Amino acid sequence: MTPVPDVAARYALVLVIGWIGALKFTGYEAAGIQPLVANSPLLSWVYHAFSVTTFSAILGVVELTLAALIAIKPWQPRLSLLGSLGAVGMFLITLSFLFTTPGVTAAEAGGFPVLSSTGQFLIKDVALLALSVWTLRDALAARVR
């Protein structure tokens, strides 16, 4: 039987990725991620190929898919491993925004280490990355059993 903290950690990650993924279909969230994506050397090209809302919707589909894959670990650990691997990649990319997005630190408060609201929004992805790595390891261990 899987310990309760393990189940809680996995499905907390699923809830966060799924909820934020569902929000990607709203204009509010599409506008919210636009400056992060536009200033990223890794992703700024997407706005040459897609509109802000279309890219946000594509990202929403990806995030909902990752959440679903992570969630099915008890039944499909191999597929869940792919979801966790995708989440690790996603959070590494979003953490890169800490270094590419203007205004991540609060200049009016002296700058680093004081984070602006954008910086605070991004720094939480350190914990989500750690959870994703844990779910990856957990799915890998279940796959070999």
Q: What number is the average pLDDT over the span 22-46?
A: 98
Q: What is the pLDDT of residues 68-94, one digit of tens each?
A: 999 999 999 999 999 999 999 999 999
Arithmetic mean of pLDDT, 20-41:
98
Residue ranges covered by each domain of the chain: 4-144
74: preceding bond cis by omega (within 30 degrees): no
Give the pLDDT of residue 111.
Answer: 82
Q: What's the confidence (pLDDT) of residue 145?
A: 64
| Alpha helices per DSSP H over 1-145 | 4-23, 27-38, 46-49, 52-71, 77-100, 117-123, 125-144
Give me the torsion for CA of 91, 94, 100, 106, rounded to 10°: -100
How far, in Å, CA of 60 to CA of 9, rounded? 22
Q: Above 90 in pLDDT, residue 50?
A: yes
In this prediction the pTM is: 0.93
Structural tokens at position 137: 């390891």
Whether the per-residue pLDDT at 59 is higher than 90: the answer is yes
pLDDT of residue 1: 75
pLDDT per position as a tens digit, 89-120: 999 999 999 999 999 999 888 888 899 999 99
- Flag whether pLDDT at 143 surpasses 80: no
Confidence class of residue 134 from pLDDT cuts 50, 70 and 90?
A: very high
Q: What is the pLDDT of residue 125?
A: 98
